């Protein structure tokens, strides 16, 4: 695996850790169902990649 991809994965993991910490260990976004949370997070990462 090339280095930029590794760096991107590490950034995602750090961000997911931050989200989990904010939500008392939960990766779901308050007020959204599990599926909606998953979709929102994947959209967020897709948009971050483009930026």
The predicted-structure confidence for 16-49, as pLDDT tens digits, reads as follows 888 777 777 676 666 777 788 778 878 877 877 6
Q: Are 23 and 29 in contact (CB under 8 A)?
A: yes
The reported pTM is 0.46
Residue 51 pLDDT level (bands cut at 50, 70, 90): low
What's the token pair of residue 2? Answer: 């090339």
In angstroms, the CA 36 to CA 51 distance is 23
Residue 2 pLDDT level (bands cut at 50, 70, 90): low
Virtual CA dihedral for 26, 28, 34, 35, nearest 10 degrees? -140
Cα atoms found within 13 Å of the Cα of residue 14, Cβ hemisphere only: 6
């Amino acid at each position: 695996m090339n280095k930029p991809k590794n760096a991107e994965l590490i950034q995602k993991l750090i961000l997911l850790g931050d989200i989990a910490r904010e939500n008392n260990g939960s990766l779901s976004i308050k007020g959204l169902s599990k599926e909606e949370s998953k979709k929102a997070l994947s959209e967020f990462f897709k948009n971050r990649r483009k930026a």
